[in-house]
Chain A
Amino acid sequence: MTDVREALMVGRASDGRLVRRPLSPHLQIYRWPLSMATSILHRVSGVALAVGTLLLVWWLAAAAASDDAYATVSWFLRSWLGVICLLGWIAALWYHFLNGIRHLVWDAGFGFAKPQIDSSTYFVLGATAALTLLTWIALFTQL
Chain B
Amino acid sequence: MSETVKAAAGHNAGGPRVKMMRTTLGQVRGLGSAKTGVEHWWIERLTSVAMIPMTLWFIYSALHLAGHSRLEVAHWAANPINAAVMVALLLTVFRHMGLALMVVVDDYIHARAAHMAMLLLIKGGTTLLALIGIIATLRLAFTG
Measured CB to CB, the residues of A under 8 A from B are 1-2, 4, 6-12, 17-20, 43, 46-47, 49-50, 53-54, 56-57, 60-61, 63-65, 67, 70, 93, 97, 100-101, 103-104, 107, 135, 138-139, 142-143
Hey, which chain A residues are within 8 Å of B93, CB to CB?
A: 53
CB atoms of B16 and A1 under 8 A apart: yes
Could you say which of B7, B132, B136, B137 has the most chain A C-beta atoms within 10 Å of its C-beta?
B136
By secondary structure, the A interface counts as: helix
How many A-B residue contacts, CB cutoff 8 Å?
102
Taken residue by residue from 12 to 32, chain B's Cβ proximity to chain A (1 for < 8 Å, 0 otherwise) reads as 100111111010000100000
In the assembled complex, B118 has its CB within 8 A of some CB on chain A = no
Known: A18-B7, A50-B101, A142-B67. A64 touches B16 (CB 8 A): no
CA distance A61 to B139 in the complex (A): 9
- Count chain B CB atoms within 10 A of each CB in A10, A54, A65, A67 and give the residue with the most: A10
Residues of A within 8 Å of B69, CB to CB, are 70
Q: How many residues of B are counted as interface, with CB atoms below 8 angstroms from the partner's CB atoms?
A: 44
Given A43-B104, A46-B100, A104-B48: A17 and B136 interface contact (C-beta under 8 Å): no
Q: Is the CB of A18 within 8 A of B22?
A: no
Closest A residue to B141 by beta carbon equals A64
> What are 13 pairs between A and B in contact, CB < 8 Å?
A7-B20, A12-B3, A17-B15, A18-B12, A60-B137, A63-B77, A93-B59, A97-B55, A104-B45, A104-B49, A138-B63, A139-B66, A142-B63
Q: Are A54 and B129 in contact (CB under 8 A)?
A: yes
Inter-chain contact A61/B59, CB cutoff 8 Å: no
When distances are taken between beta carbons in the complex, the residues of chain B under 8 Å from A107 are 45
| With contact pairs A1-B17, A61-B136, A64-B140 given, residues A53 and B70 touching in the complex (Cβ less than 8 Å) | no
Contacts of B77 in A (CB 8 A): 63
Checking A49, A64, A135, A138 against B136 with a beta-carbon cut-off of 8 angstroms, the contacting residue is: A64
Please state if A57 and B63 are interface contacts (CB–CB under 8 Å).
no
In the complex, what residue of chain B is closest to A77 when comparing beta carbons? Answer: B66
Are A7 and B5 touching (Cβ within 8 A)? yes
In the bound complex, what is the Cα–Cα distance between A70 and B15 (angstroms)? 70
A142 touches B139 (CB 8 A): no
- A1 partner residues in chain B, CB cutoff 8 A: 16-19
Q: Which 8 pairs from chain A and chain B are nearest by CB?
A: A18-B15, A64-B136, A70-B70, A60-B136, A142-B66, A64-B139, A7-B8, A61-B136
- Chain B residues whose C-beta falls within 8 Å of the C-beta of A53 in the assembled complex: 93-94, 97, 129
B133 and A61 form a contact (CB under 8 A): yes
The answer to whether A63 and B70 have CB atoms under 8 Å apart is yes
Q: What CA separation (Å) do A143 and B94 show in the bound complex? A: 28
Since A10-B7, A57-B133, A64-B139 are in contact, a sample of 18 more A-B pairs with Cβ atoms closer than 8 Å, ordered by chain A residue number, is A1-B17, A1-B18, A1-B19, A6-B16, A6-B18, A7-B8, A19-B15, A20-B16, A53-B94, A57-B132, A60-B86, A63-B74, A93-B55, A93-B59, A97-B52, A104-B45, A138-B63, A139-B63
